[in-house]
Amino acid sequence: MGGVARLPPALLSQIAATVLLAGACVAFVAMAERPAAPRALVAGALLGALALTRPFFLPLPLLLAALALGSWRRSARSLAPALLLAIAAFGAVLAPQVAYSLTSFGRPLVGSLGTQLWLGYFQGLAPADLDDFQRAEADAGRAAIARLENAADRRTQAYAFVALDDELRARALALMAHDPLGYLARGAVRSVVLWAGEVPARDAGATLPDAVRSAWLALELSFLGVGLVGSVRLARRGDLRALVPLALVLFVWALSFPLWAEGRFSLPAKPLLAIGVVAALSAPRPGGPSEARPGGRAARGGASRP
């Protein structure tokens, strides 16, 4: 088996999240179009599985419910039973994990939000540019991480990780309060890494020529820009199917903005962004046949002369 390439677990979770997000969106739209108990159960279960795979997506059911209630022509009363059933299925899938977290750690959810905030604060900030407060916080954070790595056993590590995440969250919030404008400005760096930081090379692009890396960066950013344009065009239709691609891309972007960014974190949103790219590239040209004005020759059924 030595010659078989293996995907790292972190990437596998992103691939699973990509499949689950696509399936959850399809199931939810189907449920909203034709409310029924089986569709609601499937949509809720897929959303729950997605949240277990990536807790980042825990708020997603609220967004989808708001889109369905705000965009679909059905009344809220006709959608409410299916939405409630979907939320119940979502909660049922999460319930074992919540119960475990409550009994083990005294809180419904544990994660790495604090760690991601702390790392995200320093992303794009060169060590030479740190002031005294930032340098002290960076050193203290690294020392806390070292204590976790020196934990004796897995059980101790689990509790130490929860404590570490709480500590790094507090340090991250203090750092943000110390330099909020700099932190927000570095959001541009985090965004570029999020959407264009994944290089398709086994060595993460470390040995690629600078010209190739620059070309790939330009291609990825172009994909993002064209996808956003197409998603906006789709969203103008106003129905749920058309709103989902733009809403999900913005959801991933907004929730990722304050956190440490890696290109793989945007992978679940890439298929939705691709829908926007297709919509942008297939948009009718001004003056084309599909934009014939009402009352014109084509609309009246008359043949156009060469």
Output the six-digit token pair for 237.
């239709």
Q: Note the pLDDT of residue 286.
A: 53
**Is residue 306 pLDDT above 50, yes or no?**
no
Per the rule left: phi > 0, alpha: psi between -120 and 50, beta: everything else, 208 is beta
Q: What is the mean pLDDT of residues 139-152?
A: 86
Handedness of CA 186, 188, 194, 200 (dihedral sign): negative
* Alpha helical stretches, state H, 150-287: 154-178, 180-185, 187-196, 210-235, 240-256, 270-281
| pTM score | 0.83
Confidence band for 284, pLDDT divided at 50, 70 and 90: low
pLDDT mean across residues, the chain: 86
User: d(Cα 87, Cα 93) in Å, to the nearest integer?
Assistant: 10
Q: What is the mean pLDDT of residues 269-291?
A: 76
Least confident of 28-37, 232-241, 296-305: 296-305
**What one-character DSSP code corresponds to residue 293?**
P
Least confident of 63-72, 151-160, 242-251: 151-160
pLDDT tens-place string over residues 87-138: 999 999 999 999 999 999 999 988 899 999 999 999 999 999 999 999 999 9
pLDDT tens-place string over residues 1-40: 333 344 455 567 889 999 999 999 999 999 998 999 999 9
How many Cβ atoms are within 10 Å of 29's Cβ, its own excluded? 21
Q: What is the mean pLDDT of residues 198-203?
A: 65
